Structure 1
Amino acid sequence: MLASHRFGVELRRLREQHGLSLDGLARQLSYSKGYLSKVESGQRRASQELARRCDALLGAEGRLQQLAARPAPAPRPDPARTTPPAPGPHPHDGHPYAAGAAGYTAEHPGRRESLPFAALPAPSGYPGLPALPAAELLGALLPQRPTALDPGVPALLREQLVQYRALGQQLDPVLLVPALQMQSETAVRIALRCDGRTRAELLLIAAHFIEFGGWMAQEAGDRHTALAYTERAVELARAGGNRQLAGYALVRRALVTFYAGDAAATVALAAAAQDRRLRPRIRGLAALREAQGHALGGDRGRCLRALERAEVLLATAAADHDGGPTIGSSHIADPAAMTTGWCLFDLGHARRAAEILDREHARIPLRATRARVRYGLRRALAHAAAGEAEHACAVAAEQLGGLGDVPSATVTGDLRRLDRELRRFRANRAVREFQPVLLAAITGC
């Protein structure tokens, strides 16, 4: 029996078990009766979105989502490994978050080529700068041109990092990736003129610069550079005696697999980042990512338990914060609550998700344009999935004004998902009027 037929048979069995007519199911899910009839008969293949909502409505505990899943085209990554994959097409390039996410590569004339950290040339006009030594040697080398560094220099570099993070909320990520790479390299060169605790401190600052560069590369749609920069951050931090960023690198890789639609890999990577030797902040973020992976796979119980762990760990981390650079986003007031909203969406509980996302979005600072656009569009998605098409259009329209300043591969993916959601409401006048605007935002025209 074909997968589409198996799904249809199980959907009909569960619907009848719950005493629902096909018309009643269509009303509750905001899908057309004709479409659901074709899904039940196996003439149409169910989307993951439909499977999640049917799972939630009929209490199927993920069975329908599993029946609707397409086979993974590539083996999952080894959680113990943080080295980025070789360049090339990603196995999940058909996932909505991957669509249209070319970033700043040769596909976009005038944009900087994506190059691994070590392959970037010396700054123009400074041909005498020596190549940096391998990261594993940085901690042990004797100082080059030993100097008594002003103690205010590391503080100035940390302040610059804060400013770059603020710029990341306001500017195209393509503009920031090269600058962040250069700032990291500058901090390394200063570190090589110092020793002891000062060198270790500077290497950790360099690691934070390049880690944020990895996040900006991901926002630009360049997964390979994002992972390469994250790995470089791990190497620099390790050279300075800090092994915490290695755990966070797993969290970052789990985000990449999450956006690629790979639930199992997301859970595996996030679980590996919850070693008790890691700080509560990193373990809390890892638990959030694990919850997202479970939600993507339709496992409500494990998702909610991971969210509970994350809430406790992040509360502990907030109480013990040492004043250093924040790991992860600093613009979300309650990461556990925001992630709960998105997990509920992935589990098919769109209305509850919309309520939480509405509340948490209101707490994002106005200056954090990138975060407001990203989570604002997720609000719109949740409202559309809940059948509130007109409100979804209004919420999405509010976000599109800021999108031109802060283009984002993940946001483009959400726009495509929103377009698919709204197609179910083509007869709605507000939807028909908004669709050309939405298409222009997706295509950048």
Structure 2
Amino acid sequence: MEPADGTAETVLPGGSAGTRLPPGDFGVVLATLRARRGWSVRESARRANVSEGQICNLESGARNPTPAVAAACDAAFGTGGKLVELAGGCRRGARAGDAVDADPVIAGYERVLRELRDIGRSTGPRFVTASMKSITRVLTDAGSHAADEQRSRIWLLASRFAEYTGWMAQEAGNPAEALRWTNLAVRWGTQGGDETVAAYALVRRAFIAQHRGDTDAAIQFADRAAGHPAANPVIRAHAARRAAQGHARRGDARACGEALERFRSHAAEGADGRTPHWGPRIENGNPRLIEASCMLSLRRFEQAADLFAAEHRCRPTSPSDSNSRARFAVRQATALAGTSRLDDACQIIEATLPVIKRIDSATVRVELIRFVEQARTRRASPGQLALIDASAALATG
């Protein structure tokens, strides 16, 4: 995987892409390698035969690696001597009680967060959750040792990690854990001087309420997010999207349409080229796909099917975002089943089931349940019935 900022990676002589080192100092490289393997601090320490504290101190920059520790990490990660070589260029004299220079820590972990997001979108929560939790531990420890003027930046980065950890907990089907991490994100964001995460946390609560079937609560949280004093156009766009989907599920087409208009307006205002501080990039919230999803909830199956088909023809979902591709593919299949085009619907589901198995997303499984419920109202062939039953087993298992 290419680094998010375009910096060239170090490649082992004669090696393959799997033996490349990401950019950064020893601690950042160690954290990135650990994230790519989905190892926790404990697992990394066990494999390298060092203590968990040593791993945390190395990743936070509080300690430099000794030759022996660098060699142990090199062996654990199979980097062919490159970690030992990198350790030789580390700055000297760092002690656990010294103030940590936040700049390389922040720059490095921002790259790690981008990479973890890419991994999460393509492979699901189980491959990134351990790394996310471990890195928040490293960052909160680094924040307590950073210089005063840099401390807030580390807390803000810790907050971003916590927010994404909450999203992964939601994807893993654990809403209580998702809320716990979201609350930590709010607390750490406040410590860093940023109140916007408190507004975005209400959007997350709206999504959680939506997936547990509490439509009224989802709309209320979305409205509170839109009206929060710290809400920016991006957060208001996310809030309007949740409100639109909530009104659609209640069957209120007028309120849904008004919320969709707000979404388009706020999304246009917020899509100014800057990366949003919280949540997914607003340009990924495709207006036509969101409208199609709302039409599906309103049971306007023909309109939804046409919108999904038109959007997929002119602008396919990013192939690297397996989660979004699977989610919208299942919605399109549900719309097709609603129009009695069960054969077309089953072709989409058959092609998508392997992806759904791989990413193991709770939010996608909810969509699969909706497909099964709709498909079972239609006359199906034996082969289609077998596919519907397989979908039901995957959605509930």
- When the two structures are superposed, what TM-score results if normalisation uses the length of structure 2? 0.71
Which residue does 1:364 correspond to in 2? 317
* Contact 1:331/1:371 (<8 A) preserved: no
Note the alpha carbon deviations across 1:212-231, whole angstroms, 9 max, x for none: 11111111110100111011
* Contact 2:327/2:364 (<8 A) preserved: yes
Q: 2:217 aligned with 1:290, yes or no?
A: no
Equivalent position amino acid for 2:366 in 1 = G
* Contact 1:174/1:217 (<8 A) preserved: no
Equivalent position amino acid for 1:343 in 2 = C
Q: Distance in 1 between matches of 2:247 and 2:267?
A: 19
Note the alpha carbon deviations across 1:55-114, whole angstroms, 9 max, x for none: xxxxxxxxxxxxxxxxxxxxxxxxxxxxxxxxxxxxxxxxxxxxxxxxxxxxxxxxx9xx
Q: 2:76 aligned with 1:126, yes or no?
A: no
Q: 2:106 aligned with 1:179, yes or no?
A: no
Taking a change above 3 Å as real, the CA distance of residues 179 and 354 of structure 1, as seen in their structure-2 partners, is: same
Taking a change above 3 Å as real, the CA distance of residues 150 and 231 of structure 1, as seen in their structure-2 partners, is: closer
Count of aligned pairs between the two proteins: 308
Which residue does 2:333 correspond to in 1? 380
Equivalent position amino acid for 1:431 in 2 = Q
Q: 2:177 aligned with 1:225, yes or no?
A: yes
Taking a change above 3 Å as real, the CA distance of residues 399 and 193 of structure 1, as seen in their structure-2 partners, is: same
Which residue does 2:233 correspond to in 1? 280
- Offset of 1:331 from its aligned partner? 8.9
Taking a change above 3 Å as real, the CA distance of residues 246 and 124 of structure 1, as seen in their structure-2 partners, is: farther
Say which is worse superposed, 263-272 or 195-204, in terms of deviation.
Answer: 195-204
Equivalent position amino acid for 1:153 in 2 = V
Q: Distance in 1 between matches of 2:333 and 2:283?
A: 18
- Offset of 1:127 from its aligned partner? 9.7
Which residue does 2:153 correspond to in 1? 201
Taking a change above 3 Å as real, the CA distance of residues 146 and 427 of structure 1, as seen in their structure-2 partners, is: closer
Note the alpha carbon deviations across 1:187-235, whole angstroms, 9 max, x for none: 1211222234421111111111111111111111101001110111000
Which residue does 2:33 correspond to in 1? none
* Contact 1:172/1:407 (<8 A) preserved: yes
Structure with bigger helix share is 2
Higher RCO (CA < 8 A, seq sep 6+): 1
Taking a change above 3 Å as real, the CA distance of residues 358 and 187 of structure 1, as seen in their structure-2 partners, is: farther
Note the alpha carbon deviations across 1:249-298, whole angstroms, 9 max, x for none: 00000001111222211111100011354211011101111111111111
Taking a change above 3 Å as real, the CA distance of residues 125 and 152 of structure 1, as seen in their structure-2 partners, is: closer
Taking a change above 3 Å as real, the CA distance of residues 443 and 303 of structure 1, as seen in their structure-2 partners, is: closer
Which residue does 1:72 correspond to in 2? none
Pick from 383, 394, 397 the counterpart of residue 441 of structure 1. 394
* Contact 1:171/1:406 (<8 A) preserved: yes
Q: Distance in 1 between matches of 2:54 and 2:114?
A: 30
Structure 2: which 5+ runs fail to align?
1-38, 40-49, 58-95
Pick from 115, 118, 123 the counterpart of residue 166 of structure 1. 118
Which residue does 1:264 correspond to in 2? 216
- 5 Å-filtered alignment, 1:47-196, equals 125-126=52-53, 145-147=97-99, 149=101, 151-196=103-148
Q: Distance in 1 between matches of 2:220 and 2:283?
A: 25
Q: 2:289 aligned with 1:338, yes or no?
A: yes
Q: Distance in 1 between matches of 2:262 and 2:340?
A: 32
Taking a change above 3 Å as real, the CA distance of residues 429 and 289 of structure 1, as seen in their structure-2 partners, is: same
Say which is worse superposed, 207-216 or 417-426, in terms of deviation.
Answer: 417-426
- 5 Å-filtered alignment, 1:229-244, equals 229-244=181-196
- When the two structures are superposed, what TM-score results if normalisation uses the length of structure 1? 0.64
- Offset of 1:180 from its aligned partner? 0.8
Which residue does 1:317 correspond to in 2? 270
Which residue does 1:412 correspond to in 2? 365
Q: Distance in 2 between matches of 1:240 and 1:401?
A: 41
Note the alpha carbon deviations across 1:140-159, whole angstroms, 9 max, x for none: xxxx9342616232111111
Structure 1: which 5+ runs fail to align?
1-111, 113-122, 131-143
Q: 2:376 aligned with 1:423, yes or no?
A: yes
Which residue does 1:393 correspond to in 2? 346
Which residue does 1:305 correspond to in 2? 258
